[in-house]
Amino acid sequence: MTYLKGHWQLIAIIALVFALWSTPIVLPLKILVVFLHELSHALATWATGGSVQEMSISAQQGGHVISRGGSRFLILSAGYIGSLLIGVALLLAALRTRADRAVVGLFGVVTLIIAALYMREVFPFVFCAATGAGMLAMARYLSHDINDMVLRIIGLSSLIYVPFDIFDDTIARSAQRSDAYMLAQEFGGPTMLWGGLWLVLSGGVVKWCLLRGIGRVSNLSFGRRI
């Protein structure tokens, strides 16, 4: 009861996203989480000394990164867990800091840079360019509370989408080509093993975030002066 009282807004957002999960309303959020997935592959590539040649996402919630060099194991492993951790970071930035506008603006800048340098196809370029420009506009012209809420929605959508996507891609449909499938092909072990490990790890991250990371009270009081 205390948890419900202290976090009813987050619970309401989760319930609303679930209720609208199969509707076009949530589709942009799903595609944005896919963007975070591909961005995580790119970040792992750069962090391990590789280079990114191309990045893409699709309206069907797919995507890819074409890279050279780097640690193949870490690059393949980074997609699901990396996008989840980015979502957690965005959520905690909203809940634990007053830097909401700066975080939204930085997100917008990164998205625009990725669109300009790595998106070669029309849909991903337009989606990322529009998303980046929209975030910069929100950071510049909208209130702290609205920017805070945007970060909460993106972060919670990542927490919802990533474990579901891991299960669907690597366990329910283990024969399809996925990060876990390629990891199994290149490093051994069944696809479901890698997917299962990622699912357990993602579940632990989500549990920590919801029980420990968000604090005792997360409800947003609208109308605060900035």
Angle 163-200-219 from CA coordinates, rounded to 5°: 55
Cα 85 from Cα 162, distance rounded (Å): 10
Cα 144 from Cα 158, distance rounded (Å): 21
Torsion sign, CA atoms 81, 28, 47, 170: positive
Check residue 226 and give its pLDDT.
41
Cα first-last separation, the chain: 31
Q: How far is CA 118 from CA 51, 71, 122, 187, in A?
A: 11, 20, 12, 28
CA 128 to centroid of chain Cα atoms:
14
The residue ranges of the chain whose pLDDT is under 50 are 225-226
What's the pTM? 0.93
Check residue 191 and give its pLDDT.
93
